[in-house]
């Protein structure tokens, strides 16, 4: 088993860097999710790892072996990388078993069929070995594609928006199964998506890309709790983000007042900064006006979301979102409180 490592990788098109100094590690038996908006460089990184394009700078290694440098690109077919794409790419004229057996051409017939069946079993589809792609649901086809990618014992698995063609319900049920299969395979996997829920659900490590740069890499919980900058917080949909001016040791000024934090901030006086707090941590009518971090607000509307009400509020021209256990009528005046330890 081996990990895959990208070190200071660059790739430009027509003089413009699409991938700019990217360093990443996909560790053994772990899933690295690459998340980023369209155009952030995800597909380019996949093509570089697959050896479909040369890189301009840096190197890519599988274990200790250099597979791409600026001077040398190991051919794709020698990299032993299993790929799964959004459109399944199964051969329509072959049944599920034959699709999985396809890449096992170095083995004898009996051995090949047995291994294909073994992999179909691991993705829960042994009983569908005789079925043709058009007889399988989208989710089943994608599991066959996964079995086909894993059967030749690749060094690495790459999945490019594998659930992109499926509806939401199926995606949610399949993501946990995919995670189980990928972990069970013992291979490093790189999972590309623009869907943050999917990325959080599948990732052991998460790398977020923006304009060819890695914004942050780490455990999903780390990125969720401590996003490195305002762009990332906003991209991850982490909640209310407001511009402020630091007033050390533990306060910051915003247009409508001053926020107090539980911890000291490590910034010089009057630095521009952004405050982040989650909708569930914004409390409505919990404190009287004048209590710490308590402000006057107007309810714009309340939207029922199932587990909670999303209450949209305006505090002196600034829109904030709260998640509340109850509805608040539009137009009502309320107080909102953000506990210092939640900012």
Binding-site ranges for ligand ADP (CB under 6 A): 13, 18, 36, 38-44
Shortest Cβ 160–ligand ADP spacing (Å): 8
Between 43 and 260, whose beta carbon lies closer to ligand ADP? 43
Shortest Cβ 30–ligand ADP spacing (Å): 22
Between 27 and 164, whose beta carbon lies closer to ligand ADP? 164
What is the rounded CA–CA span in Å between residue 304 and residue 291?
A: 29
Token representation of residue 28 = 């053994």
Identify whether 227 is preceded by a cis peptide bond (ω within 30 of 0). Answer: no
Angle CA 221–176–196, to nearest 5: 45
Buried b (16+ CB within 10 A) or exposed e, 228-238: eebebbebbeb
Q: Enumerate the β-bridge partners of residue 242.
A: 275
Between 195 and 321, whose beta carbon lies closer to ligand ADP? 195
Token representation of residue 122 = 């691991």
Shortest Cβ 202–ligand ADP spacing (Å): 17
Shortest Cβ 49–ligand ADP spacing (Å): 12
What is the rounded CA–CA span in Å between residue 110 and residue 92?
A: 22
Shortest Cβ 41–ligand ADP spacing (Å): 4
Between 42 and 143, whose beta carbon lies closer to ligand ADP? 42
Residue of 140, 159, 111 lying closest to 132 (CA atoms) = 140
Between 43 and 312, whose beta carbon lies closer to ligand ADP? 43
The residue with tokens 């049944």 is 95
Shortest Cβ 48–ligand ADP spacing (Å): 9
Angle CA 26–27–31, to nearest 5: 65
Shortest Cβ 201–ligand ADP spacing (Å): 20
Residue of 129, 186, 176, 178 lying closest to 154 (CA atoms) = 186
Between 189 and 334, whose beta carbon lies closer to ligand ADP? 189
Pairing mode, strands 81-85 and 240-247: unpaired
Token representation of residue 170 = 């199926």
Between 18 and 116, whose beta carbon lies closer to ligand ADP? 18
């Amino acid at each position: 088993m081996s990990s895959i490592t990208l070190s200071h990788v660059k790739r430009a098109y027509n003089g413009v860097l699409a991938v700019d100094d990217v360093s990443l590690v996909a560790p053994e038996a772990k899933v690295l999710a690459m998340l980023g908006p369209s155009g952030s460089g995800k597909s380019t990184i996949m093509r570089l790892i697959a050896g479909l394009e040369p890189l301009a700078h840096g190197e890519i290694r599988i274990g200790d072996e250099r597979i791409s440098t600026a001077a040398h690109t190991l051919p794709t077919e020698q990299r032993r990388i299993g790929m799964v794409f959004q459109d399944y790419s199964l051969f329509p004229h072959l049944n599920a078993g034959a699709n999985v057996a396809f890449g096992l051409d170095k083995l004898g017939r009996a051995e090949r069929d047995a291994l294909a069946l073994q992999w179909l079993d691991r993705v829960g589809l042994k009983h569908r070995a005789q079925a043709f792609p058009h007889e399988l649901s989208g989710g089943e086809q994608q599991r066959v594609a996964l079995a086909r990618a894993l059967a030749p014992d690749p060094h690495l698995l790459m999945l490019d928006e594998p659930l992109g063609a499926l509806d939401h319900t199926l995606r949610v049920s399949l993501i946990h199964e995919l995670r189980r299969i990928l972990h069970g395979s013992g291979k490093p996997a790189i999972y590309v998506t623009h869907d943050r829920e999917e990325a959080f659900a599948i990732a052991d490590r998460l790398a977020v890309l923006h304009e060819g740069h890695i914004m942050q890499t780490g455990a999903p919980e780390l990125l969720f709790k401590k996003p490195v900058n305002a762009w990332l917080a906003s991209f991850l949909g982490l909640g209310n983000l407001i511009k402020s001016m630091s007033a050390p040791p533990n306060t910051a000024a915003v247009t409508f007042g001053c926020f107090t934090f539980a911890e000291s901030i490590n910034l010089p006086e009057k630095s521009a900064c952004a405050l982040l707090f989650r909708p569930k941590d914004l409390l409505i009518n919990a404190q009287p006006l004048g209590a710490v971090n308590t402000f006057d607000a107007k309810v714009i509307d309340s939207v029922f979301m199932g587990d909670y009400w999303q209450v949209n509020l305006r505090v002196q021209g600034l829109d904030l979102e709260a998640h509340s256990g109850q509805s608040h009528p539009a137009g009502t005046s309320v107080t909102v409180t953000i506990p210092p330890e939640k900012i």
